[in-house]
């Protein structure tokens, strides 16, 4: 609490309104900064504990709304940010859950595709269960079996591998020949040359 000290008749109005620290705060602040007094420390610890409790309750509600824990071997959709996909690519990619990892009482999901294991772990809010689809139906059964020996790659790599348009960005070449060998970036990637490739090259055989 704050009090006011007595000032003489000649004191300014500002001096008369100066706050003072009560005896309890003064005792706690003795020898140190008032911001680190034991009472304030206790208040902060109690506030932190209440925030932690509220966070746990929010996670529990969200987990219940999302449908509970997703089992290993389930096929899921993972949302893809626009910086990790091409303009013609879907906003999510289909992967399979290969492992459940628990960190600080939170269940995280490790997912994988045909071209590797995603290096990031996802919470339940970021994976959408496809309950009517099995890994065998999508050819992901071998991924579920051999994922430990597969490379760890970013999500962008998995999206690019499944993209019909080449994924994020656009591949192009500057060849002056026929673009019929692995020296051509488009031919090496198994794609056709596009309008951004080798301007003025009329000998290309890898275009429509």
> What pLDDT digit, counting tens, does each position of 39-75 carry?
888 999 999 999 988 887 877 776 676 667 888 899 9
Rounded distance between C-alpha atoms, residue 207 and residue 114, angstroms: 28
Residue recorded with tokens 């056709």:
192
Q: What is the pLDDT of residue 47?
A: 93
Q: Rounded to 5 degrees, what angle do the CA atoms 6, 8, 11 make?
A: 105
Local structure of 107: helix, strand or coil: strand
Contact 66, 125 (CB under 8 A): yes
Angle at 20 between CA 1 and CA 48, to 5 degrees: 45
Bridge partner list, 103: 106
Q: Quote the CA–CA distance of 85 and 91 in Å, as a whole number.
A: 8
Question: In terms of Cα–Cα distance, which of 188, 182, 183, 186 is closest to 207?
Answer: 186
Helices (H), 74-180: 141-146, 155-162
- 118 three-state secondary structure: strand
- Spatial contact of 143 and 116, defined as CB atoms under 8 Å apart: no
Question: What pLDDT, on the 0 to 100 scale, is given for residue 148?
Answer: 92
Q: What's the pLDDT at 60? A: 74
pLDDT < 50 stretches in the chain: 1-5, 7, 14-24, 28-29, 31-32, 34
- pLDDT at residue number 96: 93
For β-strands 19-21 and 75-79, DSSP reports them as: unpaired
Cα dist. 163→47, 134, 196 in Å?
A: 48, 21, 19
Give the three-state DSSP class for 152: strand
Residue 45 CA to residue 126 CA, distance in Å, equals 31
Q: What gap in Å lies between CA 165 and CA 85, rounded to an integer?
A: 10
Residue-level pLDDT at 58: 79
Residue 93 parent element (H or E): strand 92-103
């Amino acid at each position: 609490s704050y009090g006011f000290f007595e000032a003489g008749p000649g004191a300014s109005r500002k001096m008369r309104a100066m706050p003072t620290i009560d005896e309890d705060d003064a005792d706690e602040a003795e020898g140190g900064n008032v911001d680190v007094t034991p009472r304030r420390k206790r208040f902060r610890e109690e506030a932190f504990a209440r925030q932690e409790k509220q966070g746990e309750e929010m996670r529990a509600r969200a987990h219940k709304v999302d449908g509970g824990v997703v089992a290993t071997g389930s096929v899921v959709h993972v949302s893809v940010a626009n910086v990790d996909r091409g303009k013609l690519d879907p906003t999510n990619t289909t992967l399979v859950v290969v492992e459940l990892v628990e960190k600080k009482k939170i269940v995280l999901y490790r997912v994988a595709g045909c071209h590797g294991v995603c290096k990031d772990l996802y919470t339940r809010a970021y994976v959408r269960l496809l309950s009517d689809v099995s890994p065998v139906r999508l050819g992901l059964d071998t991924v579920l079996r051999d994922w430990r020996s597969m490379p760890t790659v970013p999500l962008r790599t998995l999206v690019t591998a499944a993209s019909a348009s080449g994924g994020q960005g656009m591949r192009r070449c500057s060849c002056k020949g026929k673009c019929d060998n692995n020296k051509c970036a488009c031919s090496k990637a198994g794609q056709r040359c596009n309008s951004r490739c080798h301007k003025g090259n009329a000998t290309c055989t890898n275009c429509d």
